[in-house]
């Protein structure tokens, strides 16, 4: 889920019409868009400067969708997990299996790669702050550490300067599969703490501030966040499992909720 030009773009897992576009004020459906040659989507972000949406695909590529409707794609080589856009209007692609952040131009030129530390296992999403540091969330089901980290990098070396969490748990100083996050204009960090079914607020140095969204406010696990800074609204997207028949074959149904922040 992402915002662009006064509209909300929401991904659906289906063969065509995968992108629903809603008015940001009324939340009325405006149109549906199809991404050709689409595989299994992983994340979505947007760039107001280049007026386009980027969609990560498990087929090791990123799709670029212009507001005019043109769709192109480029190869990432490794599976993209999380996407974001930095202050230079470039695309940051988090590749979890190889512990890398790759920076691409808007049209897919690889500009640089950053290999993360060995204990940053299975990174899911990364954002670059205005000061040039990276905020990264990492940790999967069987991994020992589940954290949100602030990483200082000079292009060759990187160190963790702040972090929230360590071993997974439900205490306020812990998290359990942090999946995605958003950063506001004051660089406070909102974290989709997936398995704890909550959204946690962290200070710019990743210190705990009371959670923004509690488990009883959500229908299902929060997976993706989109912050509307103009309206001070947080859009939270999740996926609800639907059982289809007696074989208990499950499919995912996207859902979204909106909260004031």
* pLDDT 10s digits, 98-139: 999 999 999 999 999 999 998 899 999 999 999 899 999 999
165 part of a folded domain: yes
| pTM exceeds 0.85 | yes
* pLDDT 10s digits, 219-229: 888 989 999 98
**Percent of the chain, pLDDT > 90?**
59
The predicted pLDDT at position 168 comes to: 81
23 part of a folded domain: no
Listed in sequence order, the DSSP H helices in 130-185 are none
30 part of a folded domain: no
CATH number of the domain within which 202 lies: 2.120.10.30
- Is 260 strand, coil or helix? strand
- Asked if pLDDT for residue 239 goes beyond 80, the answer is no
Q: Which residue has the higher pLDDT, 147 or 257?
A: 147
126 part of a folded domain: yes
160 part of a folded domain: yes
Distance, in Å, from the CA atom of 225 to the CA atom of 257, rounded to the nearest integer, reads 10
The domain of 134 spans 116-260
230 part of a folded domain: yes
Distance of CA 123 to the CA centre of its chain: 11
- Asked if pLDDT for residue 246 goes beyond 80, the answer is no
Listing DSSP states for 38-93 in one string gives: ---EEEEEEETTTTEEEEEETTTEEEEEETTS-EEEEE-SS---EEEE-TTSPEEE
* pLDDT 10s digits, 78-102: 999 999 999 999 999 999 999 999 9
* pLDDT 10s digits, 10-34: 988 787 888 999 999 999 999 999 9
67 part of a folded domain: no
The answer to whether 52 touches 63, Cβ cutoff 8 Å, is no
Q: Which two tokens stand for residue 135?
A: 């905020």
How many domains does the chain divide into? 1
**Percent of the chain, pLDDT > 70?**
89
* pLDDT 10s digits, 161-208: 899 988 887 878 888 899 999 999 999 999 999 999 999 999 999 999
50 part of a folded domain: no
């Amino acid at each position: 889920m992402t915002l662009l030009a006064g509209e909300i773009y929401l991904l659906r897992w289906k063969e065509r019409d995968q992108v629903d576009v809603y008015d940001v004020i009324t939340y009325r459906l405006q149109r549906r868009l199809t991404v050709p040659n689409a595989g299994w989507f992983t994340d979505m972000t947007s760039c107001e400067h280049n007026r386009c949406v980027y969609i990560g695909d498990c087929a090791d590529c990123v799709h670029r969708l212009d507001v005019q409707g043109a769709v192109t794609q480029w190869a990432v080589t490794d599976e993209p997990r999380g996407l974001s856009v930095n202050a230079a209007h470039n695309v940051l692609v988090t590749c979890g299996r190889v512990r890398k952040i790759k920076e691409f131009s808007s049209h897919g030129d690889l500009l640089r790669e950053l290999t993360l530390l060995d204990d940053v296992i299975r990174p899911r999403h990364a954002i670059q702050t205005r000061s040039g540091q990276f905020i990264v969330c990492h940790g999967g089901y069987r991994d020992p550490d589940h954290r949100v980290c602030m990483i200082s990098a000079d292009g060759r070396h990187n160190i963790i300067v702040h972090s929230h969490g360590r071993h997974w748990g439900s205490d306020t100083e812990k998290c359990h599969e942090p999946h995605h996050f958003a950063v506001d204009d004051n660089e406070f960090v909102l974290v989709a703490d997936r398995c704890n079914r909550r959204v946690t607020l962290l200070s710019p140095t990743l210190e705990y501030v009371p959670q923004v969204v509690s488990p009883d406010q959500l229908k299902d696990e929060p997976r993706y966040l989109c912050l509307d800074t103009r309206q001070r609204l947080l859009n939270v997207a999740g996926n609800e499992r639907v059982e289809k028949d007696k074989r208990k074959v499950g499919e995912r149904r996207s859902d979204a909720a909106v909260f004031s922040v």
